Amino acid sequence: MKQTRRQFLITGSLALTGAAITKTYPKIKNKVTVKGPVSISTWSHGYEANKVSMKVMQSGKTSLDAVELGIHTAENNPKVTSVGYGGYPDAEGNVTLDASIMNWEGNAGAVGFLQEIKNPISVARLVMEKTPHIMLVGAGALQFALKNGFKKQDILTPKAKEAWERWKKKKETELQKKENHDTVGLLAIDKKGNMSGGVSTSGIAFKTYGRVGDSPIIGAGLFVDNEVGGACSTGWGELAMKSVGSFLTVEKMREGYSPQKACEYVIKRISKEPYFGNKQICFLAMNKEGEFGAFSLYKGFAFAIANEQGNRLLQSDYLIK
């Protein structure tokens, strides 16, 4: 098990300045300037999410707006089969969505087991802004969404339905696949230096009916403390829940760990569980200074980081080699 702290560029980056950036970037420092907005987001769809998030913040809007609108890109994209519209259903064929959001004041909102609504991140934001609560689930979350102007729609796409039918026939253990985890998580720092974060997911594909994962659980799937930084997770959510992993990552940063060291600490701790099996779990973190970190248990976690200089898709380092 060899560990390095480097991340590797996996796509060419588009510099906002228009300057050409080399395709290899072997020694990227885990540091970006906080002069101007910064956005960091999970997986390759994080690249699109960052683009929108950066635009929103460059126009002077808050990191909370950036998180919400950035996450919409994955929720609205039917090709992203793990988030929002087009997300894979549970074992019974229902698409059930989880999301949470947190702002720089430490306020939070979340929805769990939400059905027939394409943008759960926006419902989570309204739970934060319009209720004295943090989480609404199931029928109550749907009723709240409808009362607040959201429209019911069928979010099970033909492609997702076919995948579910294939899974049923073959009884293939897609649940075990390490790469089957693509929750969108986004952490952003706006022009004023305020951080917000959000996550949105359809959860583990073909999960047990009724299962809710880490994404709507504040501290597990997401945590932001404006004095320190933020963290979010993607992968087998139960591991993030048992470790309260996002909270733990932020607390390690509070103790003085870099975001990279904090992510590594949490992954190492999870790896000691006797029952993590072959499940993937990944953490992404950013501190107040815009220094970022990413680490996963297994190979394959990609994330995107954007600032005024551009947007880059990187491959995270991992523990088990």
Annotated active-site positions, please?
Answer: 183
CA distances to 50, 178, 179, 241 from 279, in Å: 27, 6, 9, 14
Smaller CB separation from ligand SD4, 96 or 258 = 96
Cβ neighbour number for residue 163 with a 10 Å cutoff = 17
What mask, x for binding ligand SD4 by CB under 6 A, covers residues 36 to 65?
------------------------------
Chain positions 263 to 302 lying near ligand SD4, rule: CB under 6 A, are: none
For residue 193, the minimal CB distance to ligand SD4 (Å) is 29
Residue 117 falls in which region: left (phi positive, over 0), alpha (psi -120 to 50) or beta: beta
For residue 168, the minimal CB distance to ligand SD4 (Å) is 20
For residue 126, the minimal CB distance to ligand SD4 (Å) is 21
Please select the residue that binds ligand SD4; options are 90, 116, 214, 225, rule is CB under 6 A. 214
Chain positions 148 to 187 lying near ligand SD4, rule: CB under 6 A, are: 181-183
Smaller CB separation from ligand SD4, 65 or 182 = 182
Please select the residue that binds ligand SD4; options are 204, 222, 285, 306, rule is CB under 6 A. 204
Asked whether the beta carbons of 100 and 123 are under 8 A apart, the reply is no
Separation between Cα atoms, residue 252 and residue 261, nearest integer Å: 8
Candidates 9-17, 156-164, 186-194, 197-205; binding stretch for ligand SD4 (CB under 6 A): 197-205
For residue 174, give the DSSP letter: G
Residue 216 makes contact with ligand SD4 by CB under 6 A: no
Residue 260 makes contact with ligand SD4 by CB under 6 A: no
Token reading at 306: 């954007």
Smaller CB separation from ligand SD4, 109 or 203 = 203
C-alpha torsion 103→106→112→114, nearest 10: -30
For residue 36, give the DSSP letter: S
Token reading at 9: 């560029």
Asked whether the beta carbons of 106 and 222 are under 8 A apart, the reply is no
Separation between Cα atoms, residue 23 and residue 7, nearest integer Å: 14
Residue 255, amino acid = E
Chain positions 65 to 94 lying near ligand SD4, rule: CB under 6 A, are: 82
Please select the residue that binds ligand SD4; options are 46, 70, 197, 203, rule is CB under 6 A. 203
Angle ∠(104,110,112) on CA atoms, nearest 5: 160
Smaller CB separation from ligand SD4, 20 or 320 = 320
Residue 235 makes contact with ligand SD4 by CB under 6 A: yes
Whose tokens are 């430490």? That residue is 106
For residue 59, the minimal CB distance to ligand SD4 (Å) is 30
For residue 280, the minimal CB distance to ligand SD4 (Å) is 8
Residue 215 makes contact with ligand SD4 by CB under 6 A: yes
Candidates 56-64, 159-167, 232-240, 246-254; binding stretch for ligand SD4 (CB under 6 A): 232-240
Please select the residue that binds ligand SD4; options are 219, 237, 259, 293, rule is CB under 6 A. 237
Helix ranges restricted to H, the chain: 45-58, 63-76, 120-130, 138-147, 158-170, 237-243, 245-254, 259-271
Return residues touching ligand SD4 (CB under 6 A). 82, 181-183, 201, 203-204, 213-215, 234-237
